[in-house]
């Protein structure tokens, strides 16, 4: 039976990106093997994360970087990301940490990248001197930024580099450190006030 003019063959109706997924057999790394369909895409033969938009590349939010970073620090998922890269306990496998870091919440990738992007601007504005290892991280950031500007995503093979970049910026985040210390002090005071003196 002939198709009507409004009906298209399934493959004809797909974008080139979607066709690439069907025509190319991809085997994601073990950390992402059980993800739902559509979580990963293929660009020029490279397995990549699903594309996403960030709010600040066009200049939005750059007028007050510190305030915008404060807002990001208050997002519930941000602490989960920080705890993930700070975890040196070896109780959670690297693959499990990767899956949680990038897919624990729907907005993790966007949140991580926006924080890193604004932190890079903040670092430039601070004029802080960087050692050789710092400069290597900044070079990695620049490389990933160039790819993101073209494709609006990142290669999955750069996942550990992305986690290292995020850790680099949170380790330099004095405001985050001050907030965590204040929370710990407040928690300690509450516990002391709640103690019942021994008779």
Does residue 82 fall inside a structural domain? yes
Q: Which residue has the higher pLDDT, 16 or 42?
A: 42
How far apart CA 173 and CA 115 sit, in angstroms, is: 11
* pLDDT of 167 strictly over 80: yes
pLDDT at 168: 95
pTM: 0.76
pLDDT tens by residue, 126-163:
888 889 999 999 999 999 999 999 999 999 999 999 99
On whether the CB atoms of residues 50 and 157 are closer than 8 A, the answer is no
SS3 content of the chain, % helix, strand, coil (to 5): 60, 5, 35
Does residue 45 fall inside a structural domain? no
Instruction: Give the lowest-confidence range in 10-19, 36-45, 75-84.
Output: 10-19
The number of C-alpha atoms within 13 Å of 172 and in the hemisphere containing its C-beta is 22
Number of separate domains in the chain:
1
Does residue 194 fall inside a structural domain? no
Does residue 186 fall inside a structural domain? no
Range of the domain at 155: 54-179
Token code pair at residue 5: 């003019």
Does residue 189 fall inside a structural domain? no
């Amino acid at each position: 039976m002939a198709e009507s003019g409004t009906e298209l063959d399934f493959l004809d109706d797909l974008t080139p990106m979607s066709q690439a997924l069907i025509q190319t057999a991809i085997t994601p790394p073990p950390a992402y093997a059980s993800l739902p369909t559509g979580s990963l895409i293929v660009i020029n033969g490279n397995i990549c994360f699903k594309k996403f938009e960030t709010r600040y590349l066009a200049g939005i939010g750059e007028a007050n970087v510190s305030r915008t970073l404060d807002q990001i620090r208050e997002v519930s998922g941000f602490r989960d990301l920080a705890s993930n890269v700070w975890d040196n306990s070896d109780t959670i496998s690297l693959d499990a940490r990767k899956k949680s870091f990038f897919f624990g919440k729907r907005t993790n990738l966007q949140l991580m990248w926006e924080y890193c992007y604004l932190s890079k601007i903040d670092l430039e504005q601070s004029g802080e001197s960087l050692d050789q290892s710092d400069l290597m991280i900044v070079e990695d950031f620049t490389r990933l930024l160039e790819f993101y500007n073209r494709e609006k995503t990142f290669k999955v093979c750069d996942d550990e580099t992305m986690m290292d970049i995020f850790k680099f910026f949170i380790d330099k985040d004095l405001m985050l450190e001050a907030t965590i210390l204040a929370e710990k002090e407040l928690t300690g005071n509450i516990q002391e006030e709640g103690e019942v003196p021994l008779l």
